[in-house]
């Protein structure tokens, strides 16, 4: 979840009224996302208050209006900020296609045309439309931030609800990925695409599907017939 309008849609899926949402300036905004959340794994706001970085998309407009160095009329500014963000999210939702969606559609077209390789095109088609959108938005963020591990993690977590990703502290550039799904040819090909898109060649990835690898001291992972040895 990156944009304010995404938070609104997710809240409405949870049967929460759009009118009850309240937008506030983020106390510690991230320069890479519009919606500021402590836990990035969450797919929906935990409460009706949504923290926003107003400079993520609208620095030219909000940079002077909501200058943090100005301490006057704070209550009025909070109300005005909430009204502005409600209006902006309404516009976003009515537009239907944001600039980011447009860029994602261009990337999807390139993948489907084989510009990322024939295998990538075939493997991409194995994902459902909603899953493809998740991949495209994460990949677009990767192009912006170059933070390949973070965007790979976001994509995998959003696609596989039970997934857990570990970074091996004993070996550089090595990831251990537990997916929590049955290992099939289709799933192997889907993961092949994610690794190719998001991770550099030097990164080694060990995939675990149905069974988690055993971790000494963690009883849940040391169950006979329910673990694999790594």
Q: Are residues 51 and 88 in the same domain?
A: yes
DSSP assigned state of 201: T
Residue spans of alpha helices (H) in the chain: 4-13, 55-65, 74-95, 99-112, 118-124, 129-145, 148-159, 185-198
Q: Are residues 154 and 76 in the same domain?
A: no
Q: Are residues 103 and 205 in the same domain?
A: yes
Q: Which structural domain range is residue 217 located in? A: 99-228
Our CA dihedral for 180, 181, 187, 188, rounded to 10 degrees, sits at 50
Domain end residue (candidates: 95, 121, 154): 95
Q: Are residues 116 and 67 in the same domain?
A: no
Rounded distance between C-alpha atoms, residue 212 and residue 32, angstroms? 32
Q: Are residues 122 and 136 in the same domain?
A: yes
Give the total number of structural domains in the chain.
Answer: 2
* This model's pTM is above 0.75: no
The more confident residue out of 119 and 90 is 119
- Determine which of 5-19, 62-76, 124-138, 158-172 has the lowest per-residue pLDDT on average: 62-76
pLDDT the model gives residue 160: 92
pLDDT the model gives residue 213: 65
Domain end residue (candidates: 46, 64, 95): 95
Q: Are residues 82 and 178 in the same domain?
A: no
Q: Are residues 55 and 19 in the same domain?
A: yes
As a whole number, mean pLDDT of residues 19-44 equals 75
Q: Are residues 148 and 176 in the same domain?
A: yes
Rounded distance between C-alpha atoms, residue 137 and residue 157, angstroms? 14
Q: Are residues 185 and 106 in the same domain?
A: yes
Those residues whose C-beta lies under 8 Å from the C-beta of residue 41, and which sit 6 or more positions away, are: 157
As a whole number, mean pLDDT of residues 177-184 equals 89
pLDDT the model gives residue 184: 94
Domain end residue (candidates: 68, 95, 122): 95
How confident is the model over 73-97, as pLDDT tens digits? 888 888 998 999 899 888 887 766 6
């Amino acid at each position: 979840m990156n944009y304010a309008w995404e938070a609104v849609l997710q809240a409405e899926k949870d049967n929460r009224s759009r009118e009850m949402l309240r937008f506030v300036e983020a106390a510690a905004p991230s320069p890479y996302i519009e919606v500021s959340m402590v836990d990035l794994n969450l797919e929906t706001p935990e409460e009706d208050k949504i923290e926003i970085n107003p400079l993520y998309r609208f620095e030219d407009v909000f940079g002077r209006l909501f200058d943090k160095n100005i301490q006057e009329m704070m209550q009025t500014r909070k109300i005005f900020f909430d009204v502005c963000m409600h209006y902006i999210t309404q516009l976003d939702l009515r537009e239907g296609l944001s600039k980011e969606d447009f860029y994602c559609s261009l990337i999807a077209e390139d993948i489907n045309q084989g510009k990322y390789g024939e295998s990538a095109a075939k493997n991409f088609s194995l994902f459902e439309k909603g899953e493809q959108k998740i991949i495209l938005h994460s990949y677009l963020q990767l192009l912006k931030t170059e933070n390949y591990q973070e965007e790979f993690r976001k994509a995998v977590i959003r696609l596989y609800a039970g997934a857990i990703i570990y970074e091996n502290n004993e070996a550089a550039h090595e990831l251990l990925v537990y997916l929590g799904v049955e290992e099939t040819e289709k799933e192997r090909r889907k993961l092949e695409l994610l690794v190719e898109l998001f991770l550099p060649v030097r990164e080694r990835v060990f995939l675990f599907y149905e069974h988690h690898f055993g971790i000494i001291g963690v009883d849940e992972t040391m169950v006979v017939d329910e673990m694999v040895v790594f």
